[in-house]
């Protein structure tokens, strides 16, 4: 890897640390044995499969009277669900490509009776053709539905997608509880706080009830049946991993105190748009209803993906409100998800003897070895999000696809892939496709790498590194 991998991020100190460690890794990498056999079927399955592309959440916002509430249904879907066409000249100011989309929302009560049906429609725009087929570029929408207290099942269906597969999600057990019968009035809202001078804006994760692992913290907003401010002790506790979970490591419990507020209210923000259903917390005069809001910081930067429980206990009470939730890494590189592949592709920066040591033991132990090794390379050890590990495996994913050919289906294991993974994308690429000579590529790195690489296609159709030179 090269010193460019944090380029564009506002972390000058981190970047200086990375340069020293990355240079050490590169010195090892240039002499590493790279003759590790790859199970090709596993590689294809690991690196060609996209993740989920349709998510939904539903949150209950209490009304102005004790027996009223609204369910805010939110959904998020990837561009490749939709059929885009070239936008007209009149519409092109919003984007070069457009796709009309319609979503059906059906509300069913606990007896199985359909109480309401709603239709959400919009026209979505993108600027490039690549974005029209993107499985990682998302649009959002929402619908506010007034309901009496009860338990509901909500079905959200995209009506205008390319296929009939994966176009429906079901949100079960959406509860609007009676304040007389329950202290917890609804499931909490998990969101990412956004800096704003004017208002306390929130971007809901819209992640099927999960929180998103990454480089920023989150917040939980919990609606409680308090008629006056109440102090609570809370704890965030990591739970055991499930059988098929990717195991990370044990993190410490988080403990604190929070006081509910009867003068704070959650609502859809005026800044909400088709990409981000922003919400905001605003001050208002207490109504006298048994409705209060507790705001708890979720320190995602010190947590790892997995299962957790948020526990709330009011002062003077023995009853615990237990709220299970899960932290998921939505943008986790595909090459890191498969343990065998994640291990084998370390060959560019780890010597064979150490790689054999990391690979010892059963799958749980091997995953622990892998994570421990990367933790030792982390430029920001006070957080669990490891920028260096993320960048390495992102480059692996990109190299797999970019340099994949009929002769070399796994582009990450090609010679061009190796250079790409170690140094990142070149500053310039020159291609020579002259019929008199074998195809050639010349990569130049004018950044801190200061190198030029010369590739030529051999008689088998494989691009081979022929030479490299330093740039002044």
pLDDT of res. 149: 87
Predicted local distance difference test score (pLDDT) of residue 178 = 77
Contact (Cβ atoms closer than 8 angstroms) between residue 409 and residue 44: yes
The model's pLDDT over 349-403, given as tens digits with 9 standing for 90+, comes to 999 999 999 999 999 999 999 999 999 999 999 999 999 999 999 999 999 999 9
In this structure, the chain runs to a length of 472
The domains found in the chain, sorted by start residue, are 12-31+344-470 (no CATH), 52-176 (2.60.40.10), 179-332 (2.70.50)
Please give the backbone phi and psi of residue 393, each rounded to the nearest 5 degrees, phi first: -75, -25
* CA nearest to 63, candidates 199, 230, 171, 176: 176
pLDDT in tens, 257-301: 999 999 998 888 888 876 678 999 988 887 777 889 999 999 999
Q: Do residues 255 and 297 touch, judged by C-beta distance below 8 A?
A: no
Sorted by sequence, the CB contacts under 8 Å of residue 389 that are 6+ apart come out as 336, 374, 377, 378
Given a cut of 70, is residue 19 above it in pLDDT?
A: no
Going 34 to 35 to 36 to 40, the CA torsion angle's sign is: positive
Q: Give the pLDDT score at 16.
A: 37
Q: Sign of dihedral through CA atoms 427, 415, 333, 137?
A: positive
Nearest one of 422, 399, 416, 412 to 30, comparing CA atoms: 422
Instruction: Say how far apart CA 131 and CA 116 lie, in whole Å.
Output: 34
Q: Are 240 and 358 in contact (CB under 8 A)?
A: no
Distances (CA, A) of 307 to 148, 296, 348, 382, 427: 32, 18, 33, 21, 42
What tokens appear for 419 in the block? 């250079």
Q: How far apart are CA 465 and CA 455, in angstroms?
A: 4
Give yes or no for residue 452 having a pLDDT over 70.
yes
């Amino acid at each position: 890897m090269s010193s460019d991998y944090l380029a564009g991020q506002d972390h000058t100190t981190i970047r200086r640390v990375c340069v020293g460690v990355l240079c050490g890794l590169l010195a090892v990498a240039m002499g590493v044995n790279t003759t590790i056999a790859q199970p090709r079927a596993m590689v294809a399955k690991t690196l060609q499969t996209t993740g989920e592309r349709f998510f939904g959440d539903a949150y209950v916002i209490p009304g102005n009277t004790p027996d009223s509430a609204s369910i805010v249904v939110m959904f998020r879907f990837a561009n490749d669900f939709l059929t885009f066409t070239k936008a007209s000249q009149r519409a092109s100011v919003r984007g070069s490509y457009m796709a009309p989309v319609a979503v059906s929302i059906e509300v069913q009560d606990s007896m199985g009776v359909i109480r309401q049906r709603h239709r959400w429609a919009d026209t979505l725009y993108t600027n490039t053709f690549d974005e029209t087929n993107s499985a990682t570029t998302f649009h959002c929408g929402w619908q506010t539905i007034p309901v009496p207290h009860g338990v509901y099942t909500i079905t959200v269906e995209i009506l205008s997608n390319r296929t009939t597969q994966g176009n429906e999600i079901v949100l079960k057990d959406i509860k609007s509880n009676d304040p007389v019968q329950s202290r917890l009035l609804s499931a909490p809202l998990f969101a990412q706080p956004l800096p704003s001078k004017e208002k306390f804006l929130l971007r809901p994760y819209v992640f099927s009830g999960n929180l998103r692992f990454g480089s920023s913290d989150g917040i939980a907003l919990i609606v409680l049946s308090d008629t006056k401010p109440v102090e609570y002790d809370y704890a965030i506790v990591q739970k055991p991993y499930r059988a098929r979970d990717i195991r990370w490591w044990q993190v410490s419990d988080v403990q604190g105190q929070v006081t509910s507020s009867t003068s704070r209210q959650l609502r859809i923000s005026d800044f909400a748009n088709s990409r981000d259903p922003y919400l905001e917390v605003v001050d208002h005069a207490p109504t006298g209803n048994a409705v209060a809001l507790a705001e708890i910081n979720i320190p995602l930067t010190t947590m790892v993906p997995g299962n957790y429980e948020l526990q709330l206990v009011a002062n003077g009470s023995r009853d615990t409100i237990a709220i299970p939730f899960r932290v998921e890494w939505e943008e986790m590189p595909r090459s890191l998800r498969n343990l065998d592949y994640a291990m084998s592709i370390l060959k560019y920066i780890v010597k064979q003897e150490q790689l054999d040591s990391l690979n010892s033991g059963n799958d749980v132990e091997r995953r622990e070895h892998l994570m421990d090794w990367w933790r030792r390379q982390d430029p920001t050890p006070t957080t669990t999000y490891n920028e260096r590990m993320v960048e390495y495996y992102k480059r692996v994913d990109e190299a797999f696809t970019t340099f994949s050919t009929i002769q070399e289906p796994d582009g990450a294991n090609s010679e061009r892939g190796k250079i790409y993974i170690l140094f990142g994308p070149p500053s310039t690429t020159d291609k020579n496709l002259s019929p008199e000579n074998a195809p050639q590529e010349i990569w130049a790195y004018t950044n801190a790498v200061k190198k030029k690489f010369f590739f030529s296609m051999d008689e088998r159709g494989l691009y081979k590194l022929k030479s490299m030179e330093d740039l002044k």
